[in-house]
Structure 1
Amino acid sequence: MNETDQLDLAAMLCSRLCHDLLSPVGALTNGLELLADERDPEMRQKCLELLEQSAKTSADKLKFFRLAFGAAGGFGQSVPVDEAKAVTEALVGDAKRVELKWGVATDRLPKGAVKVLLNFAQIGLDALVRGGTLEIGAESRGGSSEIVVRAAGPRIAFDQTIGRALENRLDPGELSSRTAAAHMLALLARQAGGGLQYMLSDEALILGAVLPEG
C-alpha cells in the first residue's frame, strides 16, 4: 500500500466518522438553539432531554470509533472484551429493532481482533435495515482469534463492494467512506497473516475472520 493509498484510506475513514457523528452533533446544535428561544417550562424540559440523548449518542459513537478505527491507547496489546461489548451494546441500542446476542468466550482480545469484531458488528448492523438479530461470537483457539458475526432479519441490505473490500479485491475508484472500514480490515488481516470471509443469503449475512495472535 503506497503513501497515496494510505492517505486516501485515512481520508475515507475520517469521512465515515464525520458522517456518523453529523446527526447526533447536529441534534445538539438544534437543541441548543431551541433552548435559547424557548420559555415554556415543558418545552424546555423536552429540549434538555433531546440534548441529553444527543450527547449520549455522540459519546457512544466516539467510544465505538476509538476502538474500531483508532489505536485504543491505554489498553496495551489487548482489549478487555467488556469494553468491546459495552460499545457494541450502545451502538445496537441506538439502532432500535435489533436484538444483540453476545457470545465471546474470552476475557481479552488483541487490538486487531477487536477492530475486526467491531467493524463486523457495524457492517452487520447496517445490513439489518428492517431490524433483526445480530449475533457476535469470538474465541482464542490454537494461537488465533476466531470471529464470527451473523446478521439475520426480514431484509438484508449488503453492498457487494463492501464484500470485495473485505476480500481485498476493490476495483480502482471503489474506495469510499462506505468501503474504507472493510478495506482497512482486509489490510489488517493480511498483515497478521489471517483471512476474512463472508456469506450472503436472503435471510442472513455471515462475516468470519481468523487472525493469528502475536
Structure 2
Amino acid sequence: MDDSQSIDLAAMLCSRLCHDMLSPVGALNNGLELLAMEDDPEMRRNVMALLEQSATTSTNKLKFFRLAFGAAGGFGERVDVHEPKALINALVADKQKVEVNWAIDAANLAKPAVKVLLNFAQIAMDALVRGGTLDIGAEVRDGNCEIVVRAAGPKIGFDDNIGRALDGSLAREELSSRTAAAHMIRLLAEQSGGGLQYARTDETLVLGAILPEGEGLIG
C-alpha cells in the first residue's frame, strides 16, 4: 500500500471514529446545557444520570477504536483475551436485544488477530438491526488463529460494499468511512499471510478469518 493509500485509509478510519463518537459526545454537550438551565433537583439528577451514561459510552467507544483501529501502544504483541471481550461486551450493553456468546479457548491472541476480532464484532453488531445473538469464537491451533463471528437475528442489515471490501473486490475509489475498517482488516490478513471470508442470509451473517500466529505487518 503506497503513501497516498495509507493516508486515504487513515482519513476514512478517522471519519468512521468521528461518526460513531458524534452521538455520545453530542449528548454530553446537550446534557451540560440542560444542567446549566435546570433548577429542579429531580430533573438535575436525571440529567446527571444521562451525562454519566454518555460519558461511559464515549469512553467505551474510544477504548474500542484505540485497539481496533490504532497502534494500541499500551499492549504488547499479544493481548489478553479479556481485553477484547470487555470492549465488545461494553458496546453490546448499549445495543437493544443483542446477546453475546463467547467461545475462545486461548488465554491471549496476537494483536492482528485481536484487531480482526474487534472489527468483525463491530460489523456483526451493526448488522443486527433488530437485535439477535452474537456468537464470537477464536481458536489457536497448528500455528494459526481461527476466528469466527456469527450474527443471527430476524433481519440482517449488511452493506454489500462491506462484503466486497472484505473479499478485495471493492475498488479503491469506492472506499468510504463505512467500508474502511473491512478494507483495513483485509490488508492486515493478507500481509500476515492469512485470509478472510464471509457468508450471509436474510437472518445470519458469518465472518471468518485464518491468521498465522506470527507478527502482522500493520498495527
TM-score above 0.5, yes or no: yes
Distance (whole Å) between structure 2 residues aligned to residue 6 and residue 71 of structure 1 = 14
Q: Any residues of structure 2 matched to 1:135-154 within 5 Å, and which?
A: 135-154=135-154
Q: Give the SS at the match of 2:94.
A: helix
Q: Give the SS at the match of 1:33.
A: helix
Output the amino acid matched with 1:147: I
1:167 corresponds to which residue?
167
Cα deviation for residue 67 of structure 1 reads 1.1
Distance (whole Å) between structure 2 residues aligned to residue 184 and residue 199 of structure 1 = 19
Q: Does 1:179 align with 2:179?
A: yes
1:193 corresponds to which residue?
193
Q: Give the SS at the match of 1:173.
A: helix
Output the amino acid matched with 1:12: M
Identity, % of aligned positions: 69
TM-score (norm 1): 0.98
Q: Give the SS at the match of 2:197.
A: strand
2:20 corresponds to which residue?
20
Q: Give the SS at the match of 2:173.
A: coil
Q: Give the SS at the match of 1:170.
A: coil
Cα deviation for residue 170 of structure 1 reads 1.0
Q: Give the SS at the match of 2:138.
A: strand
Q: Show CA shifts across 1:1-40 (max 9, x none).
A: 2111111100000000000000000000000000001000
Output the amino acid matched with 1:176: S
1:89 corresponds to which residue?
89
Structure 1 unaligned residues grouped into runs of 5+: none
Distance (whole Å) between structure 2 residues aligned to residue 81 and residue 210 of structure 1 = 17
Q: Show CA shifts across 1:161-184 (max 9, x none).
A: 101101122124211000000000
1:118 corresponds to which residue?
118
Distance (whole Å) between structure 1 residues aligned to residue 152 and residue 183 of structure 2 = 23
Cα deviation for residue 192 of structure 1 reads 0.4
Output the amino acid matched with 1:97: K
Q: Give the SS at the match of 1:95.
A: coil
TM-score (norm 2): 0.96
Cα deviation for residue 73 of structure 1 reads 1.5
Output the amino acid matched with 1:5: Q
1:70 corresponds to which residue?
70
Output the amino acid matched with 1:62: L
Q: Does 1:40 align with 2:40?
A: yes
Distance (whole Å) between structure 1 residues aligned to residue 152 and residue 30 of structure 2 = 35
Q: Give the SS at the match of 1:129.
A: coil
Cα deviation for residue 114 of structure 1 reads 0.3
Q: Show CA shifts across 1:167-211 (max 9, x none).
A: 122124211000000000010001001000000112200000000
Distance (whole Å) between structure 2 residues aligned to residue 8 and residue 26 of structure 1 = 26
Runs of 4+ residues deviating >4 angstroms: none
Distance (whole Å) between structure 1 residues aligned to residue 145 and residue 188 of structure 2 = 13
Cα deviation for residue 74 of structure 1 reads 2.2
Distance (whole Å) between structure 2 residues aligned to residue 120 and residue 161 of structure 1 = 15
Distance (whole Å) between structure 2 residues aligned to residue 61 and residue 83 of structure 1 = 13
Cα deviation for residue 156 of structure 1 reads 0.5
Query: Cα–Cα, structure 1 residues 172 and 73, in superposed 2: closer, same or farther, change >3 Å?
Result: closer
Distance (whole Å) between structure 2 residues aligned to residue 136 and residue 16 of structure 1 = 23
